[in-house]
Amino acid sequence: MELINHMSNLTNAERCTWEIIQENYDNIPKLSISDLSNLAHVSISTVNRTVRKKGFSGYGEFRYSVREKKLPDRTGFSREFLEAIAKNEEELLQTIYSISATDVEAAVKLIDEAEEILLFARGLTINVANELLRKLQLFHKSVSLYDDPQQMLYYTRFVKEHQLVIALSLSGENAEINIPLKQVNRQLGNILALTTNQDSELVRLSDVCLIGYKSRLEINHFDLDVHSRLPLFILGRVLIDGYSIYQKNND
């Protein structure tokens, strides 16, 4: 079955329903559709519509798929640890399946035509941006990375039409990144976004977006933004691979 991130097609009620499903994922095999509708405070039809938009024929098929989903076949690990591995696998696969070939081609074209590239990132996402920086420089692109909000605001004042800003953000709702991007829009610069939130302000501000999948099942025991950047790393790798193929075919 094709695994695609369809959050942008969900209504508010359906989005909330899906969040409840993710929060109670391990209990789904034990929950009837009535149990789940009561838990989510929505109608049974809303539950069915939600899972259908996620690619299933109905709640019955979805519940069966959860029950039959096998954990990685690895000896020596606890079930809890294997479940954590499975969540990473889910994030990786769904990100790959959610990538649009059309969007990758458009992103590659933006990079190829850009006279200068500015990378914007904050927090742990800076690690993803650093990798992009080094790989783009191998193609002799003029690239700079900014992780300070004041620097982003300052340098966007000088962005022109043939310059490209690549903004990386898991949530797509980081004001320290989005506010400078509004200036880029006013000056007709181009914006390429790498994010996991289809409904974010970052997506609305951007010319081209690569959308990954962020699992809601990730284990995080800290009150800090230490969420996995795996989806962004995957998007970055796909972007660089696509650009490398483009360069090879046009030599």
Of 165 and 61, more confident: 165
Tell me the C-alpha distance between 235 and 220, whole Å.
22
Sequence spans of domains, the chain: 7-69, 98-249
pLDDT of residue 136: 97
- Average pLDDT over the chain reads 85
> Is the separation of the CB atoms in 39 and 50 below 8 Å?
no
Write the pLDDT tens digit of every residue in 94-135.
788 778 889 999 999 999 999 999 999 999 999 999 999 999
21-61 pLDDT, tens digit per residue, is 878 877 888 888 889 999 999 999 999 998 888 777 788 87
The full DSSP string for 108-119 is HHHHHH-SEEEE
Decide: residue 205, CB within 10 A, 0-12 exposed, 13-18 middle, 19+ buried. Answer: buried
Backbone angles phi, psi at 117, to 5 degrees: -120, 130
Which one, of 200, 146, 152, lies nearest residue 180 by Cα? 152
Across the range 180-189, mean pLDDT stands at 95
pLDDT at 175: 95
Helix axes 33-40, 12-23, angle to 10 degrees: 110
Reported as a pLDDT band with limits 50, 70 and 90, residue 5 is: very low
Q: Averaged over 157-170, what is the pLDDT?
A: 95
CATH code, residues 98-249: 3.40.50.10490
Residue 4 has pLDDT above 70, yes or no: no
Mean pLDDT, range 77-103, rounded to an integer? 77
Q: Kind of pairing, strands 163-169 and 143-146?
A: unpaired
Q: Given this model, what pLDDT does residue 53 score?
A: 81
72: confidence class by pLDDT, cuts 50, 70, 90: low
Asked if residue 1 has pLDDT above 60, the reply is: no
Mean pLDDT of 140-152: 97
Spell out the alpha helix ranges (H) of 78-124.
Answer: 79-98, 101-113
- Give the span between the Cα atoms of 46 and 18, in whole angstroms: 10
Proportion of the chain above pLDDT 90, given as a percent: 53
The per-type count for the chain, helices as H runs and strands as E runs, is 11, 5
Class of domain 7-69: mainly alpha
157 has a pLDDT exceeding 90? yes
pLDDT interval class at 71 (50, 70, 90): low
Q: What share of the chain is helix, strand, coil (3-state, %, to 5)?
A: 55, 10, 35
H/E stretch holding 201: helix 201-205
φ/ψ of residue 149, rounded to 5 = -55, -40
What pTM was computed for the model? 0.70
The C-alpha atoms of residue 234 and residue 97 are separated, in whole angstroms, by: 11
From CA 237, how far away is CA 245, in angstroms rounded? 12
Q: Which is more confident, 197 or 144?
A: 144
How much is the pLDDT for 21? 86
C-alpha 184/C-alpha 182 separation (Å) is 5
